[in-house]
Structure 1
């Protein structure tokens, strides 16, 4: 019935993990039939959410907690930005990759408690294990639990390791607090109509939809009354493809989250703030449920983002450099006297893994979704802020291999067009997101090469830009660079 990687966690082993889940929102990424979920709930976890890939097991654990997906590797940081703790017993075959994904998607301040084959810790023969070992050395502890699965439903016969990681809280400046808590008052207008603007219209839609839910609630109560003798109860409705809503509070929270996301999508905020700040925005929406979705609060959010822009970009600068240098020696630029324990400057040439993939046209494409390419975009935003470049002026990297002249881009139908609006349904740009291996291309502040194994090699076009970036980073770390 279940696959070969299914090893239920014995209660004795769970107890040995010393889990403090009281009052916390906890994620179980490989829930199985729910042994860890049961323990978390019986020990006063505030809420338990889970993933489980195997369909039969997913059905079982869905009766115990909120299962938000099948494959944990599809989980994004935005989905779990409100959690406090991750407790996991991932498949031992690739436990290192599961734990790394948990680390990368977990919010700041989150604790990760994970079981694994002890060889995952002791034998760093793979790059993923080396990366995990580096993270453990900086942010965690490990212990050897021995052959603790000898008492389990399915025995492993191997030594089991316990990893505890503590993701540090880096950002104290922008927690999205201090919003006005009073509701907006309706302003009387001629004929009772409010002046139109997009923000007001969205708030009006939000308020109107929540009010309409009262009617739905009345209908649900009436249906329950009529059908209760038949054993029918617990009416709900579905938002999207899988979101079951049973109460007005649930609907209001879900609609509020969607509305905040709509605001930032509409304002194209992703182009102006880093991925770390976007996680904080989602965390605000997820956790600050008592803050009304009002015009004042929306504009207050914009004020906070603008007012903390310098702190935000300083944090982004540090993260952007550290992402490429902290665990990768060849990306570091060393100079005499630099205190390496406080960080490493970025080299003129550097390598980024997990950015590319083969495409159906025989070339190599940039994987811009759930990959390290997001870190390159953050780095680009930081550089734009330092050198005064408009981020919107930098075209998408997918266009870098296209054939372009003053007459526009060459299309697969032999035409030249200036924008995608001129494309026919059946055509695309020649070489759009299709690159040759080991060939230099130009994009933004960099020249880059791609390789089938997923890596990108990059070098700065302008040494002055490279210098200003590292100069700013050095200033944050209290170190001055010599002039070039």
Structure 2
């Protein structure tokens, strides 16, 4: 256990939160969030009173970060002492490690733009200011706030980790006096008014570092600083304009006092900062060429996860961490892409399946596995009505076939842009295809029937279809990880799955209930399927007893071989 980690008791958190004079929180920072004990108090006391409270968290411990994410809290940084986030916080609430409490509070004070700060520190930090930093903090408290000493705060019944230490609850208020700032700037502008343009020092062009990542961070920081200047300039303009009074036809007012100017700058800069950060992280992702390689479904999954990445501060360290995570997840992403295409072909179109009895047999019914047909499968168009008047491939179908080509290129060890794909084929030979001709891309022969709204697809590379089936089978524990495992009968019924399926009477089988029905419906349909499969095996003379399959094989024991990106 971390000797510096003392979860904040609820009673102490409430006491600290109640120090805030202004309860209208626009954006709050918790610099050392731990497991979210203090943030939970904010969520409980502040949410629902006014508009939604935006809370940002920093937390250095990765285990605690996982807990915070489960609680749906936004993590913007790891080590708070190196955090330089540009958001303008109206409130900061913190219970930092006692050993470095002074450093945390001083850093938070520097980050605070205009608002309040409440911190829980060891009382000895304030009572015994023997260092320069402690004396500086005491001076700030005397000028901008107050302190309350609380004994036995970590001995209350709701304390997870008890200690008799006395604490100090510090409350600070920071104001940005726009009126004084504007007057100072006005004087400065008047002094510089007579300067010639040649006398103004123009910032030197950015020196492009060797690292592209460092260059991105520098550009981001410059953009944020420009946004900060623009927000202040807009507020100043509105302030001066309102000093002149309203126009006869203008009933609106903007920035008529210092407080409204603060709100204006805070709102404008926070919005600009978040947009810049999203663009910056997007540029990192685009630079890796990852998006270009992903299927449409994989892109959607990454985009849903990308929102949490955009919460992080845009720093070199965080970028490297993000890229490392992409590298570590690459194998998983590829497996998911392969499964997506497999399901597009088979899951929603049962007539494209060939059934076999799966290796994992801990369920009541063993026919829970299937393969994609090796010779031909039929895919309905996503928009049948579109082809009654159009002479091009519909957008949804373009996406589908692009995903097909990306996955088959991956299975073939090729870059997805190298092969001649299905979308290229439709661009070049739409007239021939819509007339029923069979035309070829690198991986498929295609026949298209616009009136019926169906694509008949004939795989040209049976080895790639076999690899697709085996990768999905192993991933879903339908097949053993090694081809050496399993009886001769098991592999015979797998290899002859198409022949066996043709001998099965599936006319009474309800495929929808088998896959999407209630537990009872699934069980009844699975019983029919198993009966038909075993009868077909008997007719073909395939000697396979389902008990030969390994039982109770757990998902977390699977070892999936990863594909190498080209």
| Alignment TM-score, normalising by the size of structure 1 | 0.47
Going by fraction, where is strand more abundant, 1 or 2?
A: 1
Going by fraction, where is helix more abundant, 1 or 2?
A: 2
Higher-Rg member (1/2):
2
| Alignment TM-score, normalising by the size of structure 2 | 0.41
